[in-house]
Amino acid sequence: MSLALRLGSLTLIYALALASFAPADLATGLVLSAACLAAVRGLRGPDDTPAGELARRVAFFPVLLAAVAGEVVRGTWSVGLIVLGLRPLPCPGMVEVPMESRSESGMAAAAVLTTLAPGDVVVDMDVERQIMLIHTIDASDPDAVRERLRHLRERYGQRVFP
């Protein structure tokens, strides 16, 4: 994707978020977009993602959001039952979750998406060992926690954030 297209896309998103296409707002959006692109320049690999691959990732993004929304509902329900005293606090604790050869940006996305659901919080990331350390509200079965997160990552996350 060309630099001009990236700048234009980010500026358009900024203008839509503000609901304003005033020249001053567009200029501000252009400056912020350029700053964002300069800041993340080193995070991308040496080659750009092919257009077809990028289109596939963008097309699958709503499916990933739906899966994350499902996790948010599941976590909210679970934590809500505990807070209301309808279910005892199971066994909170730390669980190491292997990330299995993910890129740094993929690991960062996984950390953010994991933390969105109530009951799970990413505490630390070890990029070299490719381990994500999470605190979960129910660590009574660490293998079940790992399996749940592995399933979400393999089925949804890796299709958008390899």
Confidence grade of residue 48 (pLDDT, cut at 50, 70, 90):
low
Same domain, 144 and 85: yes
Confidence grade of residue 88 (pLDDT, cut at 50, 70, 90):
very high
What is the number of structural domains in the chain?
A: 2
Same domain, 38 and 77: no
Same domain, 31 and 97: no
Same domain, 63 and 35: no
Full residue range of the structural domain in which residue 12 is found: 3-43
| pLDDT of res. 49 | 62
User: Beta-carbon neighbour count of residue 145 at 10 Å?
Assistant: 19
Same domain, 129 and 64: yes
DSSP the chain: --HHHHHHHHHHHHHHHHT---HHHHHHHHHHHHHHHHHHGGGS-SSPPPHHHHHHHHHHHHHHHHHHHHHHHHHHHHHHHHHTTSS---B-EEEEEE--S--HHHHHHHHHHHHHSTTEEEEEEETTTTEEEEEESB-S-HHHHHHHHHHHIIIIIHHH--
| pLDDT of res. 63 | 93
Same domain, 62 and 138: yes
Same domain, 61 and 96: yes
Same domain, 17 and 95: no
Same domain, 101 and 80: yes
| pLDDT of res. 139 | 94
Same domain, 19 and 71: no
pTM of structure? 0.67
What does the pLDDT look like over 122-151, one tens digit per residue?
999 888 888 999 999 999 999 999 999 999
Higher per-residue pLDDT: 102 or 43:
102
Higher per-residue pLDDT: 38 or 144:
144
Rounded Cα gap, residues 154 and 151, in angstroms: 5
Same domain, 36 and 82: no
Same domain, 22 and 96: no
CB 102 within 8 A of CB 162: yes
